[in-house]
């Protein structure tokens, strides 16, 4: 492809997509493709990582390298891929169940590492693929085939958790607001360090409560008065419910990434695959074992 | 019983935190550098202070690599030590002790006791804390080692603490040394072992270190692990060398994360080790399955300990063979190794990385607490025998990760190397890695690829079990993994022309000739550290061999087999 001519369609896989007509994952994928085209990232430099779920099928439909792993385990995989080859752009796409439920512990732990990856969570507030059970972000009272008299759990607040855990880039977008969403995604990918983009998407088949219309009516854009470097203000914004703010809540630049902190990159910046074992060092290490 | 002249077993016993380990390190250092063969192992409780722990050091004219129950010299560090090792003491055991520890201790004869006021001598030097070093000096005096060697060892050991501490330790050592020498001069006790200067040049590694070193020699440059006894030593060994070798170290949030990270590291062209114990591995099993469908290499070290669940965290067992063999839902090929010696742990772990890479499968290294904590001197490894054989390719534009080929192996590309896209999926997939539900052609072909064809390739490169002992055996003593050394020593000591050991360091898939070897024996007995005869069941399944219950010697106590235990078994079977 011509280096100056990146097109969103270059990132699309020519295959049937197993998403329902009108599904928010389509829009989320389109926004991502547009952002990648504008950032001019070649397909061969991109690794799409996911777990399992409807959202997690995005790497299947998007052109780049793919690691479509286990339900809940996208973040550990993404962190390791970036750690082993910092030259790759690593983007995680998975659902709210996969990312915050099954993968909850990984969410906390990977934020703490500040691996230079972008985590896009397609938050439809429901388990889509398994047909409509509550997810960690489902709102109280929602009835499902399992939560038969309504959800009673307090909804998980990914943004507040991420800010509290020291995430270096925290954002929420509504896929229906494509203009803002694309800009946020671009910044998230460009951010050096871990970036969370909680992405509100409608599930047309399984979530009759949080529809496209509902998201549209219950979100508003953060404006310039919000200082993205003010952690306390970001935290306060993240606690807002009823009407949910969208945009970048918080970011901090310059924190060392996992790779930058790793001794493996102290004297050598090349990806691990290209390195060779130093037999002289091995010999020396063995000889050092003459002593206990 | 005649006192053995070729090897002396020294046991140091006391509470955790009392310095058992320091005494061990100093004695091993001094005796090994003096040209004695050494084997040492520890047994300890799952706690940081208190309780009763012990370390055995065998000092020998010949190579030693396994545990004996017998105690020739006991160094108690508290009174409880006596009851802790009571069953292992005999009238031939010598006790080297501070007199204060003997209060209330009965059943010891006068001539067994060598008592010195270690604490008082230590106080005279400057502090009670030197008491252990006085005891070390006494042993060195009995062995008549060159004090210069001890000076070196002490200097190295305490180098971070400054010259005053080093001097005090050396003074304490010399006081003990003089006392030890007097014991010999007075004719109370003497040791006449031969030494060999080459031994000073040999290396000392325990099982965890051998696995860690083998991993580094296999090109390991990524390890994500969650600490768990008794495997932690391997992680720490690799961490200690991470800067020198450019290894990414990640202490994972849990073992589920660890296995997924290690798998993804391989996907990216790195070489990763998953190292854990049974409980941690139980959490990894979905990841093993992921490696299976993704045809993704992974090397997994399981240092076994007795279960179920938390079980006995610091004791030994061979209970997780079934777990390794069957881990992961669905069907796919794998290799399971269980090294019997420190050398084997090094070479097999090294090789595991090449095999995992080439065959795109999980390769297991099964060790156990007995194996990972035990160590002995061995000649330096022959590095001309090893090579990191990277098997990934540079991809072309039209690259297909799961391309169908005759032998079932698709060339493995990695992201960022070449023009192709490397698309790996945990769903059933096409050659391109795209999700499919084609059950007419693709699914069965993929199963053949991952299972039948792969297993065939692995059988072709499987290692043979090793026969030790009588060439014209009529009885075979089967064992695997860590029991190599104990069975070998017992068989050699027993010296029967009828009995041989058949040791398996590859447990799966078995070498195709295994059945033939087993069928040569009139009688097959098996020795395992578990209750169900897990490897006996593997032999039944794959070699159609039924070992009668009475010939299964199953130790599920959590304790390792001692040479004496195996000798008893051989005696019984020979009658
Ligand atoms: C270990 C494991 N547990 C459960 C499942 C079943 N499962 C697949 S997707 C999913 C939930 C999907 O919800 P979400 O992540 O929100 O994605 P969505 O389909 O809503 O986009 C579940 C429970 C699985 N594949 N693996
Ligand atoms: Mg969902």
Strands A118-123 and B523-528 come out as unpaired
Is the predicted pLDDT of residue B104 greater than 50, yes or no? yes
Residue B3 has pLDDT above 50, yes or no: no
CA-closest residue to ligand 1 atom 3: A71
b/e burial code for range B355-388 (CB count within 10 A of at least 16 → b): bbbbbbbbbbbbbbbbbbbbbbbbeebeeeebeb
Quick one: which of A199, A208, A209, A197 has its CA closest to A176? A199
Comparing A268 with B104, which gets the higher pLDDT? A268
What mean pLDDT comes out for the span B128-136? 95
Do B516 and B543 form a contact (C-beta atoms < 8 A)?
no
Q: What per-residue confidence (pLDDT) applies to A4?
A: 64
> Rounded to an integer, what distance in angstroms lies between the CA atom of residue B101 and that of residue B75?
11
Quick check: B11 and B74 in contact, CB under 8 A? yes
Residue B173 predicted with pLDDT over 70: yes
Weakest mean pLDDT among A2-6, B90-94, B102-106, B459-463: A2-6
Residue B448's nearest CA partner among B408, B487, B415, B410 is B408
Distance separating alpha carbons of residues B58 and B47, to the nearest angstrom:
25
Specify the DSSP class assigned to residue B73: E
Show contacts of B432-435: CB within 8 Å, 24+ apart. Answer: B432/B400, B432/B401, B432/B402, B433/A66, B433/B400, B433/B401, B433/B402, B434/A13, B434/A15, B434/A60, B435/A18, B435/A57, B435/A60
From B14-23, B369-378, B400-409, B450-459, the region with the lowest mean pLDDT = B14-23
Tell me if B205 sits within 8 A of B163, measured CB to CB. Answer: no
* pLDDT tens digits for range B439-495: 999 999 999 999 999 999 999 999 999 999 999 999 999 999 999 999 999 999 999
Give the residues across from B368 on adjacent strands. B304
Residue B209 CA to residue B275 CA, distance in Å, equals 12
Structure tokens at B233: 């030593």
pLDDT category at B47 given cuts 50, 70, 90 is: confident
Q: Which of A168, A48, A190 is nearest to A113 (CA)?
A: A168
Q: What is the mean pLDDT of residues B506-525?
A: 98
* SS3 annotation, chain A: CCCCCCCHHHHECCCCCCCCCCCHHHHHHHHHHHHHHHHCCCHHHEEEEECCCCHHHHHHHECCEEEECCCCCHHHHHHHHHHHCCCCEEEEEEEHHHHHHHCHHHHHHHHHHCCCCEEEEEECCCECCCCCECCCCCCCCCCCCCCCCCCCCCCCCHHHHHHHCCCCEEEEEECCCHHHHHHHHHHHHHCCCCEEEEEECCCCCCCCCCCHHHHHHCEEECCCCCCCCCHHHHHHHHCCCCCEEEEEEEECCCCCCHHHHCHHHCCCCCCHHHCCCCHHHHHHHHHHCCCC
Q: With beta carbons under 8 A apart, name residues in chain B contacting A87.
A: 416
Q: Which residues approach ligand 1 with their CB closer than 6 A? A: A 52-55, 71, 94-98, 122, 124, 126-130, 135
Question: How many Å separate Cα B307 from the centre of its chain?
Answer: 18
Question: What number is the average pLDDT over the span B132-140?
Answer: 96
Q: What is the mean pLDDT of residues B114-126?
A: 95
Spell out the residues 6+ positions from residue B496 whose beta carbon is closer than 8 angstroms to its own.
B469, B470, B475, B570, B574
DSSP string, B374-388: -EEEEPPP-GGG---
Look-up of token digits 């961490």: B239
Asked if omega into B69 is within 30° of 0 (cis), the reply is no
pLDDT of residue A2: 52
Pairing of the two strands A89-95 and A118-123: parallel
| Integer Cα distance of B233 and B301 in angstroms | 12
Q: Do residue A15 and residue B434 have CB atoms under 8 angstroms apart?
A: yes
For residue B534 the two structure tokens come to 């897990």
Chain B residues within 8 A of A105 when measuring between CB atoms:
253-254, 257
Question: Residue A1: what pLDDT?
Answer: 47
pLDDT score of B1:
34
Half-sphere exposure of A201 (CA within 13 A, CB side): 32
Structural domains in chain A, CATH included, are: 3-261 (3.40.50.970)
pLDDT higher than 70, residue B81: yes
Q: Which residues of A touch B25 (CB under 8 A)?
A: 292
- Which CA distances in Å does B65 have to B346, B378, B469? 15, 9, 17
Identify the H or E element spanning B118.
Answer: helix B118-125
Atom number, ligand 1, closest to the C-alpha of residue A122: 21
* Cα→Cα distances A179→A76, B190, B244, Å: 30, 89, 48
Partnered with residue B503 across adjacent β-strands are B466, B479
Classify burial at B155, counting beta carbons within 10 Å of its beta carbon; exposed 0-12, middle 13-18, buried 19 or more.
middle
Cα-trace Rg, chain B: 26
Nearest residue in A to B420, CA atom? A44
**DSSP secondary structure, B410-456, as one string:** PPPEEEEEESS--EEESS-B-TTS-B---TTTHHHHHHIIIIIIHHH
Reply yes or no: is the peptide bond before residue B230 cis, omega within 30 of 0: yes
Using DSSP, state whether B238 is helix, strand or coil: helix
Nearest CA in chain B to A89: B416
Ligand 2 centroid, distance to A131 Cα (angstroms):
10
List Cα–Cα distances, B466 to A206, B339, B506, B518, B566, in angstroms: 61, 12, 10, 12, 18
CA distance A89 to chain B (A): 10
B438 has a chain A CB within 8 A of its CB: no
> B451 is written with which tokens?
């299972």
Cα(A138)–Cα(B249) distance, integer angstroms:
37
Q: Parallel, antiparallel, or unpaired: how do β-strands B37-43 and B375-378 relate?
A: antiparallel
The Cα–Cα gap between B276 and B372 comes to: 12
**What sign for the dihedral angle of Cα B307, B310, B315, B321?**
positive
Q: Is B264–A77 a contact, with Cβ atoms under 8 angstroms apart? A: yes
| Number of neighbouring beta carbons within 10 Å of residue B303 | 31
Per-residue pLDDT tens for B258-307? 999 999 999 999 999 999 999 999 999 999 999 999 999 999 999 999 99
Closest CB from B204, B268, B420 relative to A81: B268
Q: Per the CB < 8 Å rule, is B287 touching A73?
A: yes
Q: Which residues of chain A have pLDDT under 50?
A: 1
Q: How far is B378 from chain A (nearest CA, A)?
A: 9
Q: Are B429 and A59 in contact (CB under 8 A)?
A: no
pLDDT of res. B5: 67
User: How many angstroms is it from A134 CA to the middle of ligand 2?
Assistant: 9
Mean of pLDDT over chain B? 96
Asked if ipTM goes beyond 0.95, one says yes
Q: Which of A19, A61, A71, A200 to mutate to test the pocket of ligand 1 (most atoms within 8 A of CB)?
A: A71
Q: What residue ranges define each of the domains in chain B, with the CATH number in brackets?
A: 2-201 (3.40.920.10), 207-380 (3.40.50.970), 393-459 (no CATH), 466-574 (3.40.50.920)
Give the 3-state secondary structure percentages of chain B, helix then strand then coil, rounded to 5.
40, 20, 35
Distance between CA A248 and CA A99 in Å, rounded? 19
> What is the Cα–Cα distance from B187 to B299, expressed in whole angstroms?
55
């Amino acid at each position: 492809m011509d280096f100056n001519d990146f097109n969103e369609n270059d990132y699309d896989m020519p295959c049937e997509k197993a998403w329902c007509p009108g599904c928010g994952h389509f829009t989320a994928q389109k926004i991502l493709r547009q952002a990648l085209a504008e950032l001019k990232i070649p397909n061969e430099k991109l690794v799409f990582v996911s777990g399992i779920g409807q959202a997690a099928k995005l790497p299947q439909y998007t052109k780049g390298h793919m690691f479509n792993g286990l339900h809940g385990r996208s973040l550990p995989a993404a962190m390791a891929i970036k750690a082993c080859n910092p030259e790759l752009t690593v983007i995680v796409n998975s659902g709210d169940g996969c990312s915050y439920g099954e993968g909850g512990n990984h969410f906390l732990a990977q934020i703490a590492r500040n691996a230079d990856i972008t985590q896009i969570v397609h938050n439809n507030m429901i388990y889509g693929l398994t047909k409509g059970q509550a997810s960690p972000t489902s709102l109280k009272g929602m009835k499902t085939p399992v939560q038969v008299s309504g959800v009673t759990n307090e909804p998980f607040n990914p943004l507040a958790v991420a800010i509290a855990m020291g995430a270096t880039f925290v954002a929420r977008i509504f896929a229906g607001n494509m203009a803002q969403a694309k800009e946020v995604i671009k910044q998230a990918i460009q951010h050096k360090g871990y970036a969370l983009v909680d992405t509100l998407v409608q599930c047309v088949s399984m979530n009759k409560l949080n529809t496209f219309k509902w998201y549209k009516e219950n979100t508003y854009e953060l404006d310039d008065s919000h200082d993205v470097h003010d952690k306390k203000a970001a935290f306060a914004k993240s606690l807002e419910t009823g009407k949910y703010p969208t945009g970048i809540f918080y970011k901090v630049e310059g924190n060392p990434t996992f790779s930058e902190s790793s001794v493996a990159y102290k004297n050598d910046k090349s990806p691990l695959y290209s390195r060779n074992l130093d037999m002289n060092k091995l010999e020396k290490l063995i000889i050092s074992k003459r002593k206990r | 019983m005649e006192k053995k002249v070729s090897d002396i077993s020294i046991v140091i016993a006391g509470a955790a935190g009392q310095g058992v380990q320091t005494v061990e390190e100093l004695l091993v250092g001094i005796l090994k550098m003096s040209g004695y063969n050494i084997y040492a192992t520890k047994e300890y409780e799952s706690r940081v202070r208190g309780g009763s722990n012990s370390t055995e050091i065998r000092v020998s004219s010949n190579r030693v690599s396994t545990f004996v129950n017998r105690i020739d010299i006991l160094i108690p560090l508290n009174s409880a030590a006596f009851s802790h090792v009571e069953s292992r003491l005999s009238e031939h055991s010598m006790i080297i002790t501070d007199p204060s520890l003997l209060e209330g201790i009965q059943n010891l004869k006068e001539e067994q006791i060598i008592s010195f006021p270690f604490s008082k001598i230590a106080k005279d030097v400057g502090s009670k804390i030197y008491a252990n070093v006085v005891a070390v000096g006494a042993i060195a005096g009995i062995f008549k080692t060159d004090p210069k060697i001890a000076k070196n060892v002490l200097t190295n050991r305490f180098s971070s603490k400054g010259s005053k501490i080093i001097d005090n330790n050396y003074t304490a050592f010399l006081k003990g040394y003089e006392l030890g020498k007097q014991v010999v001069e007075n004719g109370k006790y003497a040791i006449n072992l031969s030494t060999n200067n080459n031994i000073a040049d040999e290396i000392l590694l325990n099982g965890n270190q051998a696995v860690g070193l083998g991993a580094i020699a296999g090109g390991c440059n990524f390890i994500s692990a969650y600490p768990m006894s008794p495997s932690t030593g391997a992680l720490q060994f690799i961490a200690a060398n991470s800067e020198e070798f450019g290894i990414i170290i990640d202490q994972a949030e849990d073992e589920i994360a660890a296995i997924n990270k290690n798998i993804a590291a391989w996907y990216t062209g790195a070489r990763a080790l998953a190292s854990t114990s049974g409980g941690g591995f139980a959490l990894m099993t979905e990841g093993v399955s992921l490696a299976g469908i993704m045809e993704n290499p992974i090397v997994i070290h399981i240092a076994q300990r007795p279960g179920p669940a938390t079980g006995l965290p610091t004791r030994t067992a061979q209970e997780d063979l079934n777990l390794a063999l069957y881990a992961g839902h669905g069907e796919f090929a794998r290799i399971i190794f269980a090294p019997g010696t420190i050398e084997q742990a090094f070479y097999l772990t090294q090789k595991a990385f090449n095999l995992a890479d080439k065959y795109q499968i999980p390769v297991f290294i099964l060790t156990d607490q007995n194996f990972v904590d035990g160590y002995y001197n061995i000649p330096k490894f022959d590095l001309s025998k090893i090579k990191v054989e990277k098997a990934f390719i540079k991809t072309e534009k039209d690259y297909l990760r799961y391309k169908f080929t005759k032998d079932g192996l698709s060339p493995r590309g990695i992201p960022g190397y070449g023009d192709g896209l490397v698309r790996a999926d945990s769903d059933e997939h096409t050659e391109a890695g795209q999700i499919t539900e084609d059950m007419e052609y693709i699914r069965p072909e993929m199963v053949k690829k991952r299972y039948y064809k792969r297993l065939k390739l692995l059988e072709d490169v499987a290692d043979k079990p090793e026969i030790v002992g009588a060439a014209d055996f009529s009885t075979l003593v089967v064992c695997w993994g860590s029991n190599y050394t104990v069975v070998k020593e017992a068989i050699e000591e027993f010296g029967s022309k009828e009995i041989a050991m058949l040791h398996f360091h590859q447990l799966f898939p078995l070498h195709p000739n295994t059945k033939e070897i087993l069928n040569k024996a009139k009688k097959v007995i098996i020795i395992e550290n578990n209750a169900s005869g897990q490897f006996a069941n593997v032999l039944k399944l794959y070699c159609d061999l039924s070992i009668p219950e009475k010939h299964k010697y199953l130790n599920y106590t959590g304790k390792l087999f001692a040479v004496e235990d195996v000798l008893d078994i051989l005696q019984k079977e020979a009658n």
